Protein backbone atom coordinates (compact mmCIF):
# COMPACT_ATOMS: atom_id res chain seq x y z
CA UNK A 1 0.00 0.00 0.00
CA UNK A 2 1.57 3.29 -1.07
CA UNK A 3 1.47 6.41 1.06
CA UNK A 4 -1.06 9.08 0.21
CA UNK A 5 0.52 11.84 -1.87
CA UNK A 6 0.89 15.33 -0.43
CA UNK A 7 2.88 18.34 -1.69
CA UNK A 8 6.24 18.60 0.04
CA UNK A 9 5.64 22.19 1.03
CA UNK A 10 3.19 25.06 0.86
CA UNK A 11 3.61 28.61 2.07
CA UNK A 12 1.59 31.72 2.66
CA UNK A 13 1.68 35.09 4.34
CA UNK A 14 -0.13 35.73 7.62
CA UNK A 15 -3.85 36.09 7.01
CA UNK A 16 -3.78 34.23 3.71
CA UNK A 17 -5.31 30.81 3.04
CA UNK A 18 -3.41 27.68 2.08
CA UNK A 19 -4.74 24.31 0.97
CA UNK A 20 -2.94 21.00 1.31
CA UNK A 21 -4.00 18.15 -0.93
CA UNK A 22 -3.91 14.45 -0.08
CA UNK A 23 -4.23 12.21 -3.09
CA UNK A 24 -5.10 8.56 -2.77
CA UNK A 25 -7.11 5.88 -4.50
CA UNK A 26 -10.57 4.35 -4.37
CA UNK A 27 -9.11 1.82 -1.89
CA UNK A 28 -8.32 4.46 0.71
CA UNK A 29 -9.20 8.17 0.71
CA UNK A 30 -11.70 7.81 -2.11
CA UNK A 31 -13.43 4.78 -0.69
CA UNK A 32 -14.07 5.85 2.89
CA UNK A 33 -15.05 9.01 4.75
CA UNK A 34 -12.36 8.25 7.32
CA UNK A 35 -9.73 10.84 6.45
CA UNK A 36 -7.99 12.61 9.31
CA UNK A 37 -5.35 15.35 9.45
CA UNK A 38 -2.52 15.85 11.95
CA UNK A 39 -0.32 18.83 12.78
CA UNK A 40 3.20 18.19 14.02
CA UNK A 41 5.52 20.86 15.34
CA UNK A 42 9.26 20.05 15.49
CA UNK A 43 10.08 17.70 18.34
CA UNK A 44 6.44 17.25 19.28
CA UNK A 45 3.87 14.49 18.92
CA UNK A 46 1.27 14.82 16.17
CA UNK A 47 -2.03 16.51 17.03
CA UNK A 48 -5.42 15.70 15.52
CA UNK A 49 -6.82 18.65 13.54
CA UNK A 50 -9.60 17.11 11.40
CA UNK A 51 -11.35 13.71 11.47
CA UNK A 52 -13.96 11.99 9.32
CA UNK A 53 -12.97 14.30 6.41
CA UNK A 54 -14.64 17.46 7.72
CA UNK A 55 -15.07 17.29 11.51
CA UNK A 56 -13.03 19.47 13.82
CA UNK A 57 -12.20 18.32 17.38
CA UNK A 58 -13.00 20.58 20.27
CA UNK A 59 -10.25 23.17 20.72
CA UNK A 60 -9.08 23.23 17.10
CA UNK A 61 -9.53 26.72 15.61
CA UNK A 62 -12.27 27.02 13.01
CA UNK A 63 -9.76 28.36 10.48
CA UNK A 64 -8.90 24.69 9.88
CA UNK A 65 -11.32 22.88 7.58
CA UNK A 66 -11.38 19.65 5.64
CA UNK A 67 -13.01 18.43 2.45
CA UNK A 68 -12.85 15.64 -0.09
CA UNK A 69 -13.52 15.25 -3.79
CA UNK A 70 -13.12 11.86 -5.40
CA UNK A 71 -9.84 10.29 -4.28
CA UNK A 72 -8.36 13.57 -2.99
CA UNK A 73 -8.87 15.05 0.44
CA UNK A 74 -7.84 18.59 1.33
CA UNK A 75 -7.01 20.62 4.42
CA UNK A 76 -7.49 24.37 4.23
CA UNK A 77 -6.03 26.79 6.72
CA UNK A 78 -7.75 30.17 6.46
CA UNK A 79 -6.29 33.25 8.05
CA UNK A 80 -2.84 31.74 8.36
CA UNK A 81 -1.05 32.47 11.63
CA UNK A 82 2.59 32.10 12.65
CA UNK A 83 1.78 29.19 14.97
CA UNK A 84 0.36 27.22 12.02
CA UNK A 85 3.89 26.70 10.71
CA UNK A 86 4.35 22.94 11.10
CA UNK A 87 4.24 19.64 9.25
CA UNK A 88 0.83 18.29 8.32
CA UNK A 89 -0.10 14.68 7.57
CA UNK A 90 -3.27 13.17 6.23
CA UNK A 91 -4.34 9.65 7.09
CA UNK A 92 -7.03 7.41 5.65
CA UNK A 93 -8.62 4.12 6.58
CA UNK A 94 -7.77 1.68 3.79
CA UNK A 95 -9.88 -1.39 4.44
CA UNK A 96 -9.62 -4.48 6.61
CA UNK A 97 -6.26 -5.68 5.20
CA UNK A 98 -4.11 -2.51 5.07
CA UNK A 99 -6.17 -0.68 7.68
CA UNK A 100 -4.46 2.74 7.62
CA UNK A 101 -2.21 4.73 5.33
CA UNK A 102 -0.58 8.07 6.09
CA UNK A 103 0.26 10.81 3.67
CA UNK A 104 3.81 11.82 2.76
CA UNK A 105 3.57 15.01 4.79
CA UNK A 106 3.55 18.71 3.94
CA UNK A 107 5.60 21.46 5.51
CA UNK A 108 3.62 24.66 5.91
CA UNK A 109 5.73 27.82 6.05
CA UNK A 110 4.33 31.16 7.16
CA UNK A 111 6.24 33.84 5.28
Partner 1 sequence: EVQLVQSGAEVKKPGESLKISCKGSGYIFTNYWIGWVRQMPGKGLEWMGIIYPGDSDTKYSPSFEDQVTISADSSISTAYLQWYSLQASDTAIYYCATVPARGGWFDPWGQGTLVTVSS
Interface contacts to partner 1, rule CB under 8 A = 1, 3, 32, 34, 36, 38, 40, 45-48, 51-52, 57, 89, 91, 93, 97-105
- For residues 60 and 36, what is the distance between their CA atoms, to the nearest angstrom? 13
In angstroms, give the least distance from the CB of 79 to partner 1.
24
Q: How far is the CB of 60 from partner 1 (least distance, A)?
A: 11
What pairing do the DSSP bridges indicate for beta strands 47-50 and 100-102? unpaired
Please state the closest distance from residue 6 (CB atom) to partner 1, in A.
Answer: 9
In terms of phi and psi (left: phi > 0; alpha: psi -120 to 50; beta: otherwise), the region of 32 is beta
Distance CA 64, CA 17 (A): 10
Q: Smaller CB distance to partner 1: residue 85 or 102?
A: 102
Question: What is the spatial distance between Cα 59 and Cα 69, in angstroms, rounded to a whole number?
Answer: 26
* Nearer to partner 1 among residue 3 and residue 67 (C-beta): 3
Given the complex with partner 1, which of 57 and 61 has the nearer CB atom? 57
Choose between 16 and 109: whose C-beta lies nearer to partner 1: 109
d(CA 21, CA 1) in angstroms, rounded, equals: 19
Q: What is the smallest separation between the CB atom of 41 and partner 1, expressed in angstroms? A: 12
Amino acid sequence: QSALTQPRSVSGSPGQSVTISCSGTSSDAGGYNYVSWYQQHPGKAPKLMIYDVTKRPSGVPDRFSGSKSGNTASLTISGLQAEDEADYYCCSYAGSYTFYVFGTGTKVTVL
